[in-house]
Amino acid sequence: MAYFDSDGVQIYFEEHGKGAPVVLVHGFASRAEHNWGGAWFEALGQHYRVIALDCRGHGKSGKPHDSAAYGGETMGDDVIRLMDHLGIKRTLIMGYSMGGRIVTGLLMLHPERLRAAVLGGIGAATAAAPSFDRKPIVDALLAENISSVKEQRAREFRQFAEVTGNDLKALAAVMASSREDFTAEKIAAQKIQVPVMIVIGTKDLQVGNPKLLHDAIPGSKLVMLEGQDHLSAPSDPHYKEAVLEFFKSAPT
């Protein structure tokens, strides 16, 4: 368990196990321990050196309240800086939800640093049908009390943020930050060569179309977890089995 300075923001990370590195990037309003703690650290740590960070704005990492601190690919840059800090040239990597979006950015901008990538709890939208509006979620996170939040999805985000004990103003800044939406068309144009596996619950309706994402990444593998939604999927044992098998087959 340690910290490092990533362009002026303290980033917390922890390590488990030994072997080839695997970097884990958690979802929005979560943190490393909440997303991966226990079962994931144990399953992967038996075979790999597992490195899990708290993304900026989350958990034990620094929490700027200025949305500019999260703009562009800043959160992906934190992952690359963490790898540099630890002397890791190439890694296996898995991101869930927001973490999946961060890893998608790394696949497009830093493919040479990745051996293979798992995108969990994520799909894709098209340019004609962009992803959901983030403003209601920002408003919900900044509301004085959750009772005033009427929009269902925004209310669910606020509830989850409260359960995980995160800084609501920092999360609002993350959600309000200026960053590009990776549409299926933009991802396809990159012609991603890194091996990719997409994992998502069949009842996950929050994150776009996983088949669009699958089609946008040539040769990618799509694993649908029967009966799982966005919150329950990470604990599905089939998810862990699929990841272990996929990483085992990754090129060195």
Q: What pLDDT, on a 0 to 100 scale, did the predictor assign at position 126?
A: 87
Q: Give the model's pLDDT for residue 136.
A: 94
3 state DSSP class of 11: strand
Q: For residues 133 and 37, which has the higher predicted lDDT (pLDDT)?
A: 37
> Which of 64-68, 94-98, 104-108, 202-206 is predicted with the least confidence, judged by mean pLDDT?
202-206
> DSSP per residue over 205-220, as a string?
-SS-BHHHHHHHSTT-
Which residues are bridge partners to 3 per DSSP? 12
Which range, of 130-134, 158-162, 196-200, 229-233, averages the lowest pLDDT?
130-134
Q: All domains of the chain, ordered by start, with CATH?
A: 2-127+181-247 (3.40.50.1820)
With CA atoms as reference, report the closest residue to 248 among 14, 20, 87, 15. Answer: 20
The strand ranges marked E within 85-191 are: 91-96, 114-120
pLDDT of residue 251 exceeding 90? yes
Residue 4 clears pLDDT 90, i.e. is over it: yes
Q: Write out the two tokens for 213.
A: 């994402």
When pLDDT is cut at 50, 70 and 90, the band that residue 179 belongs to is confident
The mean per-residue pLDDT over the stretch 78-103 comes to 98
Position 130 scores a pLDDT of 65
Q: Rounded to two decimals, what is the model's pTM? A: 0.96
Cα first-last separation, the chain: 27
